[in-house]
Structure 1
Amino acid sequence: MKKSIFIILLLYPLFFFSQTRIITGVVKDIVTSIPIEGVSVGIKNTNGGTITNEEGKFRMTLNIINNVLTFNHLNYNQYAYTILATDDNLEILLEPKSYTLQEVVIRNQPINETVMEALKNSKKQLEKSVLLSTYYREFIKVDDVYTNFSDGLLDYNIKRKSGASDLYVNQSRAYDLKDSTSAQRQKMNEAIYFYDVRDAISDAYNLKKLKFILQSKNYDYEIETKNDDKGNTIEVVTVIPKKEVKLGLNCGTVVYDVKTKLILEIDLKKSPEHKQYIDEINAGLFRFKINEECRKASFKIDGDNYILVYNQNKLNVYFKMNDRIDNTYEFLSDLVTTDYKEGEFDFDRSKRHKERSLFSSGNNFKEEYWKTKNIILLNEEEEKIINTLNGK
């Protein structure tokens, strides 16, 4: 009997550490009860995490010894919640952060120089050997009809410089619209696919679009300095395209931390007032016109670590090539960091992902990770899209 108890006591820690729980929930504004999109949901004392979707919903898989969830958003007070034994589906209410604002001032050159300093400093802080575990997904529309979806759990082994990395696909799934032209359409999609899943991190790290804007003379800037009650200061810079410039310019906002000069958020898109000036480009064998281009990214400062949390790209483009292609394509990609580890890591480089799109990895999964892992949950509309592509 004593021997049996001894064995149980030896095995109990292993059993204890192996247990996990899946917690779902929704995050809302405590004042308006409106769901909050883009809240960073983490597990205290770990680098694991995800973000809330458009409906404010999230799901987290956590070990029972790490039972405190943290919630962070620039516009809300940080919040920590200790998971109880009875918890299953949570409703988290966040309080809007109380900022004091300085007077809005419109400036030109000094502002973009300051933002450029934050950009350079952010890139410098990101340039280190890191393993980013991520959830990545991509949608494709052709002539306003969803034709493709793929997602997966991806590891980016970053080699210091500007996010240059090797990509390893751990698990993936892929669905496409089943019709008489699906095979031909897929070949066309792969031929003109504008994003490269292999470059998702370097795209986020390089901040090329923002750098291009800051170096241009076609923009003005408006800046707000916000101070919270804990002494933290952020500056929100609004990018304003000049009305007299007849080009397809961008608009949006950039947020950075004043103390560290690190970028926290980027939200850029085509200026609605300037879309009329977007020209069709003749590239010889083909012509194209970019109707819309959006870029969102968020980063967090976690002690000495500066981490990419989320990156989204959206592109709507008309493309014509002889009699083969005459369509409007829309590409949407989302990436969220689920874990972060610094250091040097050994991988079998022969197993690197070598295609532009994740779709080429097909259905290659050991478990239904979209039901258990830390991913961006699909909203109701996206669920319907996946079911349609999956023939359900």
Structure 2
Amino acid sequence: MKKLLHFFLLLPFLSLAQSKTFTGTIHESGNNQPIEMVSIGVENFNVGTVTNEEGKFRITVPAKAKTLLFNHLNYKVSTYELASGKSEIDILLEPAGYDLDEIVVTSKPVDQIFSDVLNTSKKRLEKSLLINTYGREFISLNGKIVKFSDGLLDYYIKRKSGASDLFIKQSRTFKLNQTEDKSDFESRKEAIAFYDITEAMEDAYDFKAIKTLTNTKEYEFELRTKKDNAGNELEIIKIIPKPEVEKDLYIGSITYDAKTKLILEIDLKKSPEHQKYSKLYNFLIVKMKINEFAKKINFKLDGDKYVMTYSQNRINFYVKTKKSFDDTFEFVNDFVMMDYKEGEFDFDRKLRFKKKGLFEAGNNIQNEYWKTSNIILLTSKEEKIIRSFE
């Protein structure tokens, strides 16, 4: 059993010699602004990555790959033929040319449409998958990044349940140099964590964070539609907190394909107008207040393939105790799907990663995966910060 697990963990490295790496930047045609979160795939392969905030990307593809595919909800799908021989490429994407959002009047309640779309998407995702991901985690204390970790993570998702086992192949960690840090970060027990990476795929595939919104009377739902010049249609369900509800609520949208009713994007965050209702809760000896919570998940529909391509979770919270804490923490976790295999696999579950935070995986480096794997590239600002760490 262990041999089988080790074989799968080694697959990316066994094929590395038979692959090619391309780097580039994606801009919007016309204004030349960089475009972030563009999904980059390889025609006839499951390989993929996304662009960072600067529109930059790097992707390592099989030697037989011929075409790169670029997808973003707001832009026309674009392709690039790899036969040119260039390893550095620049891509210009044209806006999709969608008409302005139009409100849809329907006899069916929008909250019921919302539930139907969730169920349709969930059923398409109910399959056993081994997902090769790149994950990273930024931890900030009082507005300053103090820890960074990243790694190559394999999630084995079981059919129907959505639960998954996490196996970490490689990882690295950085932290602020303690000799220069006057905040005594370690003594503040920063291990407080609200996001469990072992549940990241289950959370994304089971729509846990948004399911409950359809079962409450605290929100209104508005259905909108927009078409591009080619006749492709998207439908958007706007999640709108009721202004009269004096609670800390969320605001956001669910974008899905009008024909298949499959979700393409989830964008959810705390409502700024309801922020004033956020409370400081008492948990025994700890007082806590959640300042911000945001979730973004992107899915890709490619022929009969429907998979998650990117997920980000951000939580900012204030903690106060009598002795140790009077601080604001922020955790940001990003995951990008690099490759996936469908089927049933037999893994040694004793090798599962069971801790909550990626930083706890420590340093386990067999090669410089951040130079070859399909990771989310660090921005110039992020690279500067990481170089200042130990």
Fold in common (TM above 0.5): yes
Write the distance in 2 (CA, Å) between the matches of 1:309 and 1:162: 20
Q: Which whole-Å deviations, capped at 9, do the CAs of 1:315-352 have from their partners, x for residues lacking one?
A: 00011233122211100000010011110112222211
Partner of 2:326: 326
Write the distance in 1 (CA, Å) between the matches of 2:218 and 2:16: 57
- TM-score w.r.t. length of structure 2: 0.90
Partner of 2:362: 362
Higher mean alpha-carbon deviation, 223-232 vs 292-301, is at 223-232
Q: Please state whether the residue corresponding to 1:322 is helix, strand or coil.
A: coil
RMSD: 2.0
Rg comparison, structure with higher value: 1
Question: Which portions of structure 1, spanning 4 or more consecutive aligned residues, are displaced by more than 6 angstroms?
Answer: 106-109
1:21 paired with 2:24, answer: no
Q: CA 1:39–1:17 in structure 2 vs 1: closer, same or farther (change >3 Å)?
A: closer
Shift of the alpha carbon at 1:34?
0.9
Write the distance in 2 (CA, Å) between the matches of 1:102 and 1:72: 20
Shift of the alpha carbon at 1:221?
2.6
8 Å CA contact 1:139–1:146 kept in 2: the answer is yes
Q: Please state whether the residue corresponding to 1:160 is helix, strand or coil.
A: coil
Write the distance in 2 (CA, Å) between the matches of 1:363 and 1:113: 47
8 Å CA contact 2:104–2:225 kept in 1: the answer is no
User: Aligned partner of 2:190: which letter?
Assistant: N
Equivalent residue runs for 1:296-315 within 5 Å: 296-315=296-315
Write the distance in 2 (CA, Å) between the matches of 1:182 and 1:100: 50
Write the distance in 2 (CA, Å) between the matches of 1:370 and 1:17: 13
Q: CA 1:224–1:351 in structure 2 vs 1: closer, same or farther (change >3 Å)?
A: same
Q: CA 1:69–1:347 in structure 2 vs 1: closer, same or farther (change >3 Å)?
A: same
Write the distance in 2 (CA, Å) between the matches of 1:372 and 1:76: 27
Write the distance in 2 (CA, Å) between the matches of 1:381 and 1:108: 50
Q: Please state whether the residue corresponding to 2:102 is helix, strand or coil.
A: coil
Shift of the alpha carbon at 1:147?
1.3
Unaligned 5+ runs, structure 1: 1-15
Shift of the alpha carbon at 1:107?
7.8
State the aligned residue count.
372
User: Aligned partner of 1:334: which letter?
Assistant: D
8 Å CA contact 1:162–1:205 kept in 2: the answer is no
Q: Please state whether the residue corresponding to 1:59 is helix, strand or coil.
A: strand
Shift of the alpha carbon at 1:256?
0.9
Equivalent residue runs for 1:180-195 within 5 Å: 181-185=184-188, 188-190=189-191, 192-195=192-195
Unaligned 5+ runs, structure 2: 1-14
Partner of 2:96: 97
Q: Which whole-Å deviations, capped at 9, do the CAs of 1:62-92 have from their partners, x for residues lacking one?
A: 2332131110111111111012454122110
Q: Please state whether the residue corresponding to 1:167 is helix, strand or coil.
A: strand
Write the distance in 2 (CA, Å) between the matches of 1:176 and 1:388: 9
User: Aligned partner of 1:204: which letter?
Assistant: A
Write the distance in 2 (CA, Å) between the matches of 1:225 and 1:78: 19
8 Å CA contact 1:107–1:220 kept in 2: the answer is no
Q: CA 1:388–1:259 in structure 2 vs 1: closer, same or farther (change >3 Å)?
A: same
Partner of 1:65: 64
1:51 paired with 2:50, answer: yes
